Chains A and B, each alone.
Chain A
Amino acid sequence: MMNYYDHFILPFAIGVTVLFTVILYKWIRWFVRMPQEDRRLVLRGIPTRQTLGAIGEVFMESLLHRRIWRVNPLLGYMHTSLAFGWFLLIAVGWVEASLQLPGEIIPLHAHVFFKFFAPEVDYGITGGLLGNIMDLLLLFVLSGVALAWFKRMRSKALGMQRTTKHVLGDRIALAALWFIFPARLVAESATSGLKHSTTFLTGNLGEWMVNTFGTEAIMHFSVYAWWFYSIVLGIFFVAMPFSRYMHIFTEIPLIFLRRYKVHSYEKAKSFDRFQIEACSRCGICIDPCQLQKDAGITNVQSVYFLRDRRYNRLTQEVAYNCLMCGRCETRCPVGIELNTLRLNSREKFAAMPADNRYAYLSSAADRSSGTSKVGYFAGCMTLLTPKILRAMDAIFKAAGEEVWYADKDGGVCCGRPLKLSGEVEAARRIMDFNRDLFRKHGITTLVTSCPICLKVFREDYHLKGIEVLHHSQYILRLIQQGRICVEHGHNSFTYHDPCELGRGSGIYEEPREVISQIGSLLEVDENRENALCCGSSLANIAINDAQQNRISQALAHELADTGADTVVTACPLCKKAIARNASQEVKDLSEVVAEALGQ
């Protein structure tokens, strides 16, 4: 039995113990506190195929970081080399130790510091080959470390305009991480040199060190080198669960939970912790954020929001200052539900008791008009864009559709703006009013011109038996059914995807199909999932008019650059915002259709 103890392993051993104790404590706590439905979902999900899928995903995402490769290959390589490289060092190191020390029960630290504890250098196939493989892996990881250094200095080369500004704890962990592999290289090389190893990296470097500084000096030096290596490992492991590096382990249960269909929700709950601590603060969310790009607001991006929320120092200012456009969410390599987390963080600031709110609705008059199975809900904003109302009227008329108008003469808000402001309970009262109204008039189809209303009707109203359509979908259906005809002209259009319609409700094709039947469609560079926000989003309660306007200006420029005659969008709020700064005409999809109506 070998003696596998040396004092220098203590920092490492303490670090590992702290790390796993804290992680287990956190995971168990979060899991136990999860609502019963969530836990049931997990228990039901475990014996299904989802578990296998999750294992695969863990490999692809936590180790290979496939999604980051999509952002930028160099950035992807950096993450892969660090995560997968380190993982392989541990795995291959274990094999190496097991093969060279057969029959022994090897304690954890012994293969981590294997070069130190290995009795002698094995020149055989296993030793020589594995030793070289281990060197290669170390080089692989070191290349990632070098890139990480380079990224700090020149983030643009890795496809990022801006990188995250880190807190002190993160900086300590980051510094430790940067030192781990260079320290390992030096320590292993010193020992290899003394033991006359021939591996290509540590062996040769060690030989050079011994030749240059002498055996005696390197013998002394190697003791310090191993101590240093163990200390940086220890520091990193202790800092890890308290820093952004908690994401390394948290992403794994998150992947499983997500596969079991556990989701965050409009109210905060324990599952949110898995998402919040799975954020690696990579900062990929910073670049797409228009608040940063156009309005000069640099402390509210999702990475900072999650950080503040994680450390319980979230301010109202940060929670409220978000367009919830979803541009960051589509790029998040961890797939965190950023919009939902932002939304459910707002309730504690709003926290207005819901009792008696909107009691006046019970005596509100029914101002709707007409009778039909088809209902039209214009939406509050649409009442300020009468061209849309006009156009919808013309379309309904051309299609011979009788319509029940829910709010032509003023209605009650759909409730989504209130929900977005964190007043979830109060919003339900408004929703109940409208739902009762829809039921009372017995509609089976509900058409709306406002994507904000659309989203809340679909997600929160539970309108069983009523099909909810955005007017772009409805219009396309009318065209396809031959109920209206549109004439193809020579106009060119560009289309702006409203956030709540595109990313929010997944409606990208219908408006485009309608436009392509009327004229040519010129796309902007950033469209569909990557479309810009108009800046007027009701989700942002904090920004002022000048900031909104700067965001709208940037969008208007993008749209103008297409050279299209007309900008088309499908949201009254977007229309108003773009029209403020547009050099060409801005129209709603319905207007374009109404103008092209043929026989």
Chain B
Amino acid sequence: MSKRVIVIGGGVAGMQTAATLAGLGIHPVIIEKGDRLGGKLLNWHKLFPTFTPAGEVLDTLRRQLKDVEIMTNTEVKRIEQSGVVLNDGRLLVSDAVVVCSGFDIFRAEIKEEYGYGIYDNVYTTVDIERMLNEGKVHTADGHIPERIAFLHCVGSRDEKVGQKHCSRVCCITGVKQAMELKELFPQSEIYNFYMDIRMFGPGYEEMYRQAQEEFNIHFIRGRISEASETIDKRVQIKAEDTLIGRPLKMTVDMLILIVGMKAGASNDRFAENRGIELYPSHFIRPRNQFVDNICSSAGNIFYAGTVTAPKNVGESLNEGVAAALRVSKYLED
């Protein structure tokens, strides 16, 4: 009888892990709290830096999961040595567990000064992906935006909201969305307000340059301190243009907050297991950051994807493969 491995989370990392395990002749069970597989990518339009539709990636993964056991609308309460306990109290016995529960999106409402959820025309990058998917990008009252501002690092590198870490992928997301919007609205002016631009992946820096040169996206070095709403429902923002050293005020039709990655809320619950440790950021800390970066101290618990740190899709997919191989090696021993 083949060994049974529970994969917590059906996002890209979980799907890749399960697919690889199945290929190795191991019996994976994906436990997904949502009603279908795909995770955050379900709501994503296109992926940087190639503008590949997110659906394409998901389709490929889904095809590999034909015979895999999947439990949707199911949530894991805690992880034990013998398996996982579900929210309804059931214990699912397994030989190993791979935690692929991903991250949470930072709630932009917490940065009240930016007016998300208060002003009509303040959005997050998640909203923009949804709007792009729906093919309906416009201001709250249905107009084409003439001036758009993106704000980088909302919920990243911000001690005041307990998010000290850099979420890594938001810089490139902001650049990608700026280009997409510019493509939709060639007449619009787009400004990206940033503290640092961190282009860590292959082709990212090139894309940044392309955004500046070909798309005429304006990059202003300064973090917006606060936003207010004008009578005509536009958003007035305040920042310092730090390269000049003077305060800057601007009224825009849309303010888009590039929200960061927050450690998954379930991490705290999982960490009740003694083999699972957390970083101060509440992301899960692997046994070590190098040769065992997908392993816990518990032996039969493994990690893949953003449950351990902010990562892009490619990195998460790679970790899915790596974790599956380590599981298989563990089960052989």
Contact = CB atoms under 8 A, between A and B. Distances in A.
A/B touching: CB–CB < 8 A = yes
Contact of B226 (A384, A387, A390, A576): A384
A40 interface: no
Contact of B160 (A385, A387, A580): A580
B115 A386 contact: yes
A386 B160 CA distance: 17
A387 B162 contact: no
Contact of A387 (B118, B161, B227): B118
A579 interface: yes
Contacts of B115: 386
Interface string B210-228: 0000000000000000111
A386 B110 contact: no
A390 B226 CA distance: 15
B112 A385 contact: yes
Contact of A386 (B159, B161, B162, B228): B228
B183 interface: no
B118 A390 contact: yes
A473 B119 CA distance: 27
Nearest to A546: B159
Contact of A384 (B113, B118, B161): B113
B112 A384 contact: yes
A580 B162 contact: yes
A239 B110 CA distance: 57
Given A383-B226, A386-B118, A580 B161 contact: yes
Bin the interface of chain A by size.
Answer: 10 to 19
Contacts of A580: 160-162
A545 interface: yes
A331 to B, nearest CB: 32
B113 A385 contact: yes
B232 to A, nearest CB: 16
B235 to A, nearest CB: 11
Interface in A564-598: 576, 579-581
A218 to B, nearest CB: 69
Contacts of B227: 386
A390 B161 CA distance: 22
A386 B227 CA distance: 9
Contacts of B159: 545
Nearest to B161: A580
B23 to A, nearest CB: 42
A386 B110 CA distance: 12
Contacts of A545: 159-160
Interface string A379-398: 00001111100100000000
8 contacts: A384-B226, A385-B113, A386-B228, A545-B160, A579-B110, A580-B160, A580-B161, A581-B162
Given A386-B113, A386-B228, A580-B162, 9 more contacts: A385-B112, A385-B113, A386-B118, A386-B226, A387-B112, A387-B118, A390-B118, A545-B159, A580-B160
The 8 tightest CB contacts between A and B, nearest first, are: A384-B113, A385-B112, A386-B118, A386-B115, A387-B118, A387-B112, A384-B226, A390-B118
